[in-house]
Amino acid sequence: MCGIVGYVGRSEAAPILLDGLRRLEYRGYDSAGVAIVDGDKVETRKCAGRIAALGKLMAEKPPSGTFGISHTRWATHGKPTDQNAHPHFDASGKLALVHNGVIENYQALKDQLMRDGDRKFSSETDTEVLAHLIGKLYDDSIAEATAQDSNGNATNAPPLNQRGLLVDAVRAALRQVIGTYGIALVHSDVPDFLVGARRGSPLVLGVGKEENFLASDVSAIVAYTRDAVYLNDFDVVAVERDKFEISSVAGEAGSYQLSKVEFSDADIKKGDYPHYMLKEIFEQPGSVRDAMRGRLSSEECTAKLGGLNMSPAQLRDVGRVVLTGCGTALHAAMVGEYLIEALAQIPTEVEFASEFRHRNTPMTRDTLVFAISQSGETADTLGALRESRRKGYRTLGICNNVASTIARESDGGVYMHAGPEIGVAATKSFTAQVTIMTAIGLLLGRMRHLSTSEGTRIIDALNALPTQIEEVLKLSDEIKAIAKKYANAPGMLFFGRQFHFPIALEAALKMKEITYLFAEGHPSAELKHGIIALVRPELPSVFIAPDDAVFSKNLNNIEQVRARKGPVIAVTSGAGADRLAKIADDIITIPTAPDYVSPILTVIPLQLLAYHLAVELGRDVDKPRNLAKSVTVE
């Protein structure tokens, strides 16, 4: 949510910043801006709208300079207008700041600044208040240092340490802030210098050769360097061309670890695909394979998840599981609940991360908590993780982004290894999460009653998945034709039972996110308890009805819809296709698979259905309205 890129080096900053913003556009895209220091002035360009609009503005009047900051915004405080776009300035106009997060006490800080002197604020943002506060503290310290100089010691006084004073001002301001921030700033009196800081919003330092970068996400800078330092909460970093220094908001010297970014620039290119979402849907044979690579033991008929950091005895003694996340990750958790309860018979709860963190969920001593998050930065999920750890529960992360905050703050976990996901609508991360859930169910099951032959059956089914997913992907054109047929539908209803109920929810979420059509998912049997009132000839119902133990139950529900002239699209497998031939209007037939792995196959045609329908409706598939890939505010 919101993207930050900063650069200091020997090259022109403008193209680097703009390129970085383009790569971060999936984090927020309602306005964008840059500030580049050119000699003694800060050149800024900013506007409401997409990065393309900013690019046009910059092309008309190119800003020049070798250090600067930039931002792409997802509005929290203040509408997406030119004025509210970042960067924001202090009263002197010399300090420019970009910010992700929310400053909760901005009104109190603003009132305090107004009491100290008449100030003009040109935006409605909390960020501008922080820019004024840092600027004031810096100007005050310069005034104080200059006064001492003129107090008789002018000639012998050490040169003014502007860089140190600017960092001090940042620290002093942040000590007054309540809320979350990832910030980057420049000051036109302090050449070749960036300051960054974070609390609750990610910020990474990219270390180059005679150039350094700041970014809210490494994908912005991976084209320039793969050496990165992931900053911790309360870190303040002072960045020059050829060095950097990390300290804390409190002023203590900080330590850091240099990491190698796992993916390259090529991995985040769209290639020949028209959209990232389609590319990522088609990457699923590989991403599912990577999610289980090295984690299945045919010898012991179980999963090996060393990252959980748990001994066999600890795994055996797990008495309860809580799975938490938001959006798509929550739906993966819901599949996980079915899997863990079925395979391991361990009572499992799914909690919306946002609810979990604010309510007193009853927990037992032997409860194991999982925080599931593609980005590893979602504020609500992070809040849930912290709350759970605060109470002393072992809390594990299931994340895609290596070194993300959730991954770092958890007691252990499992990386998805799905590769960078750029499309705002999550696809490959979902199937990776469900794959990992299956592995966790298998592992916990094998610590209890699950036999070696059952373990082997699950491992075989998992190993067969990549090839089966390839088969499903071959249906893309067929699904596109179905999407065209229903392009005028007012919405869609999705139904599934058991493991496929969460798939109905996920399919409906994809449909809402990228087509903006009304869509809801329900357990199939709930149809008759109210939802049936919606059934009519214009509104299609999508049934997830593979050839499994509840197929005939699904068939009953499909008949109930048909009896009321509702069109039916069915996702089925095996003998299901024949049995539905005369009943459903459209049938998508996928390979047959055991219950435990089947959700990974049934969700893919529905990702494709949402995708093709969104394209048919002319929607901006990779950047749907109002959404952001990673929501780092509450």
629 part of the active site: yes
Q: Binding of ligand G6P at residue 431 (CB under 6 A)? A: no
256 vs 516, which CB is nearer to ligand G6P? Answer: 516
Catalytic hit among 136, 510, 512, 629: 629
State in angstroms the smallest separation of the CB of 75 from ligand G6P.
15
State in angstroms the smallest separation of the CB of 374 from ligand G6P.
3
Q: Binding of ligand G6P at residue 395 (CB under 6 A)? A: no
23 vs 88, which CB is nearer to ligand G6P? Answer: 23
x/- letters, 569..608, toward ligand G6P (CB under 6 A):
----------------------------------------
Number of residues that bind ligand G6P (CB under 6 A): 15
74 vs 234, which CB is nearer to ligand G6P? Answer: 74
For every residue of 422-488, DSSP letters joined together read -SSS--HHHHHHHHHHHHHHHHHHHTTT--HHHHHHHHHHHHHHHHHHHHHHTTHHHHHHHHHHTTT
State in angstroms the smallest separation of the CB of 243 from ligand G6P.
33
Q: Binding of ligand G6P at residue 630 (CB under 6 A)? A: yes
Q: Binding of ligand G6P at residue 327 (CB under 6 A)? A: yes
Q: Which residues of 113-122 are buried (b: 16+ CB within 10 A; e: fewer)?
A: beeeeebebe
State in angstroms the smallest separation of the CB of 627 from ligand G6P.
5
DSSP letter at 56 equals: H
Q: Binding of ligand G6P at residue 458 (CB under 6 A)? A: no
2 part of the active site: yes
Of residues 31, 44, 146, 49, the one with CA closest to residue 94: 44
First to last CA, the chain: 11
Tokens representing residue 170 in the block: 């940042």
Q: Considering only residues 141, 284, 328, 602, which one is a binding residue for ligand G6P as defined by CB under 6 A?
A: 328
Q: Binding of ligand G6P at residue 329 (CB under 6 A)? A: yes
Query: Which residues lie across from 543 on neighbouring strands?
Result: 495, 570
Binding window for ligand G6P (CB under 6 A); candidates: 73-81, 320-328, 494-502, 591-599: 320-328
Q: Where are the beta strands (DSSP E) in 269-342?
A: 296-297, 302-303, 320-325
**What is the phi/psi pair of residue 224, to 5°?**
-105, -35
326 vs 633, which CB is nearer to ligand G6P? Answer: 326
Q: Considering only residues 98, 469, 631, 633, which one is a binding residue for ligand G6P as defined by CB under 6 A?
A: 631
73 vs 171, which CB is nearer to ligand G6P? Answer: 73
State in angstroms the smallest separation of the CB of 416 from ligand G6P.
10
Q: Token pair 């071959």 is at which residue?
A: 474
- SS3 at position 23: helix
Q: Considering only residues 141, 354, 381, 573, which one is a binding residue for ligand G6P as defined by CB under 6 A?
A: 381
Q: Binding of ligand G6P at residue 375 (CB under 6 A)? A: yes
Tokens representing residue 168 in the block: 């001090």
Of residues 96, 89, 94, the one with CA closest to residue 121: 89
State in angstroms the smallest separation of the CB of 614 from ligand G6P.
14
Q: What angle is formed at CA 242 by the lines to CA 237 and CA 246, rounded to 5 degrees?
A: 20
Q: What is the CA radius of gyration of the chain?
A: 27
375 vs 524, which CB is nearer to ligand G6P? Answer: 375
Q: Binding of ligand G6P at residue 418 (CB under 6 A)? A: no
- Other CB atoms within 10 A of residue 272 CB: 6
Q: Binding of ligand G6P at residue 14 (CB under 6 A)? A: no
Q: What angle is formed at CA 73 by the lines to CA 71 and CA 74, rounded to 5 degrees?
A: 155
State in angstroms the smallest separation of the CB of 202 from ligand G6P.
11
**Do 331 and 286 meet the contact criterion of CB atoms below 8 Å apart?**
no
**Do 379 and 180 meet the contact criterion of CB atoms below 8 Å apart?**
yes
22 vs 629, which CB is nearer to ligand G6P? Answer: 629
| Catalytic positions, written as ranges | 2, 629
Residues of this chain that interact with ligand G6P (CB under 6 A) are: 326-329, 373-375, 378, 381, 424, 426, 627, 629-631
